[in-house]
Structure 1
Amino acid sequence: MKTKSTKIIVAISLALCASASFAQAANSTSSAAKKELITKLLNMQKPSYDMLARNLMQQPIGNLMQGASAAMQQVPPEKREATAKAIEADVKKFVDDNTPLIRDKAAKLAPSTVGAVLDERFSEDELKQLLAWLESPVNKKFGELNVEMQKSLADKLLADLGPTLETRFKTLQQAIGKQLGVSPAAAGASGSTAKPAKK
């Protein structure tokens, strides 16, 4: 589970990646105590690497699934359900196989990226304060409640805006269909194929 603090650390790692040569030079001037603090911080980030890996795969898989959804219209209706299930199984296997690969690589790169930033931008005393905060009961409580709070917000957003967004999405579908020269399928037949517009 990603807490607010781990999100900040991961964001720093993505925005301020340092080179390996810089990391080696920086580490050579760091005290043993500071290196130990950085190592402890990096170890605390390991649970977030799984989420990072899944996030990195989200966009390309989303694009792939959009293409597959469009191509599905060419599959005979009686075979669509089985084909969709087969595609979903392939995508799940891909995610399951590659998430550990990215996660493990992230753990290996962390010392030369996240660790380098922590070494350069934080003093030893600041690292101690950061660790104290991350390990504090207040931070742990916030992290545990954060998922619940985000879910509560998301549920409320969907309840309040769901009908409006659905209406607007249908309008967008109709506009795109008009540009493509197709008309939407009969109302209520969600997910069914679009029919060519009569000319």
Structure 2
Amino acid sequence: MNKLLTALALAGLTLATTGHAQTADPKTEWAAKVVALQQGPELDRLVDQLTESSAQDLVANWGPKLDANVPKAKQAKATEELNAELKNFAVDIKQVISSKVGKIGTDAMVPAYAERFTVDELKQLAAFFESPAIKKYQAAAPELGNIFVQKLLEAARPEVAARAKQFNEAATKIVGSAPPAGTGKPAAKK
């Protein structure tokens, strides 16, 4: 969907610049091009992260309420129903956030780039984002990021588990009961 938005934004920019070539500010045109060129896999990941964050806020709020208000015998069914609602929420929120990308790019980012960079610098940025190496990097970035996160979690896991064990021992002394097994491990990133 973001690729469609990017294509539509670029088409709109092309129509706007050809229709107003004599009156348009070249700096604004180049800033718009740079903003459009940046919209790709990294922006898609940002939209996904914002969507996930919104869903996590709901889970954090409703998880304890589920435990407190729904009898144990009905919790599995209630969890299934909540997960279905949460999935619908995430789909809707992703669409909402994605629909704002083009407008924010045009209304906020184009003027911000035009204010901070000269026309020559904007041309250089555009050439940078159009280069085959950057396009290849943008395509590989999600996989490379996942490799980094996986290796980081693997490297930190023993120390995090040891520290979680220390915390659990101290918390047991304070609260008086042990936590469920398996707590304190770093969560795997999706």
Q: Provide TM-score, normalisation by structure 2.
A: 0.68
Give the secondary structure class of the aligned counterpart of 1:55. helix
The equivalences for 1:6-155 within 5 A come to: 31-47=24-40, 48-74=42-68, 75-155=70-150
Paired residues of 2:55 and 2:89 also in contact (CA < 8 A): no
User: What is residue 11 of structure 2 aligned with on the other side?
Assistant: none
Give the secondary structure class of the aligned counterpart of 1:113. helix
- Aligned residues between the structures: 159
For the residues of structure 1 that align with 2:160 and 2:79, how far apart are their CA atoms?
26
Deviation at 1:92, TM superposition (A): 1.5
Query: Which protein, 1 or 2, shows the higher relative CO under an 8 Å CA cutoff with sep ≥ 6?
Result: 1
Q: Percent identity?
A: 28
Residues 71 and 175 (structure 1 numbering): CA distance in 2 closer, same or farther, change over 3 Å? farther
Give the secondary structure class of the aligned counterpart of 2:124. helix
For the residues of structure 1 that align with 2:176 and 2:80, how far apart are their CA atoms?
27
Gaps of 5+ in 1: 1-29, 191-199
For the residues of structure 1 that align with 2:168 and 2:55, how far apart are their CA atoms?
22
Deviation at 1:110, TM superposition (A): 1.8
Deviation at 1:32, TM superposition (A): 3.7
The CA RMSD over aligned residues, in Å, is 2.8
Gaps of 5+ in 2: 1-22, 184-190
Q: Provide TM-score, normalisation by structure 1.
A: 0.65
Paired residues of 2:35 and 2:105 also in contact (CA < 8 A): yes
Residues 87 and 148 (structure 1 numbering): CA distance in 2 closer, same or farther, change over 3 Å? same
Q: Deviations over 1:117-149 (max 9, x none)?
A: 111111111111001011111112222332232
Deviation at 1:161, TM superposition (A): 1.8
Paired residues of 1:174 and 1:183 also in contact (CA < 8 A): no
Deviation at 1:150, TM superposition (A): 1.9
Residues 113 and 186 (structure 1 numbering): CA distance in 2 closer, same or farther, change over 3 Å? closer
Residues 182 and 172 (structure 1 numbering): CA distance in 2 closer, same or farther, change over 3 Å? same
